[in-house]
Every structure is written in structure tokens, then in C-alpha cells.
Homo-oligomer: A and B are copies of this chain.
Amino acid sequence: MKVTVHRKAHFNAAHRLYNKDWSDYKNEAVVGKCNNPHFHGHNYELIVSVKGEIDPITGYVMDMKILKDLIKTEVEDAFDHKNLNLQVPEFKDLNPTAENIAVVIWNKLEAQLKDNLELTITLYETPRNFVTYNGKD
């Protein structure tokens, strides 16, 4: 029997959505105001969920201090107060939509977790728009 533990975190960043292979006109038409070439930004709220067996010795699925530190190293230090398009290498050729940011975060954290743990990422771009990704079909 497995339990899922969830940890909240957050970071602030600027971004711009656009497709470099499109004309300015097409970007404006498809992306709308999120295409502002001077950037806009968000307070991203993140929920990292890890599912696994409870360790009978500690009563933990995973030590939350370790998870908290992992989120700090892999996500907060990399993204917080950054311009995602210009300063975060993963988005050099990838549109920093909420969907793509969630996938990038999942890939970074998954690489650091033990194989018997299942990871889900929930990312709020605003309090009204959010995405979920668990690496599955």
C-alpha cells in the first residue's frame, strides 16, 4: 500500500511565449498578449508529489527535508527571479508554457529520485491556470 506525499514550493519568473519559426504577425495571432516581446511574469506555485511505500522504521515515504532541499537545488535556484527564455538553458529552444515548464521540472526531479518512487508535478502559472504532469500516457 502506497502513500503520496506532497510538498509546496514557489518561484517568480519572467517569460514570453513565441515560436521563433513564425512571423510576428502569426505569433501575435496565436499567442496573443503572452507574446509581449518585453516579457511578462508570474508567481509560479509548485506542488511536488511523490508516491511510495511508507518506511516502517521512520514512518516516512521520503524525508521531506531531503525533498525540500532537492526542490531548492533543482527548481528554485535554477528558475527563481530569472527570465526563463533568456537565462534558463532548457527553454533556449522550448516555449516556456506552463505545460513545458512542468515537464522540465519533472525530468529534473525524476533524475534525482529513487526508482521505486512515482513523481507528479502540479504547476500553477496563476491561481486560475495550472497543469499536472506525471510522466505517463
Contacts and interface: CB of A to CB of B under 8 A. Distances in A.
Contacts of A80: 33, 40
Q: Copy number in this complex?
A: 6
A59 B100 contact: yes
A7 to B, nearest CB: 6
A137 interface: yes
A86 B10 CA distance: 26
A73 interface: no
B3 A103 contact: yes
A64 B14 CA distance: 19
Contacts of A12: 40-42, 126
A126 to B, nearest CB: 5
Interface string A52-64: 0010011111011
Nearest to A2: B137
A73 to B, nearest CB: 16
Contact of A40 (B64, B81, B103): B81
A81 B14 CA distance: 10
Contacts of A128: 7-8
Interface of A: 1-8, 10, 12-15, 17, 19, 30-34, 36, 38-43, 45, 49, 54, 57-61, 63-65, 80-83, 86-87, 94-100, 102-103, 126-133, 135-137
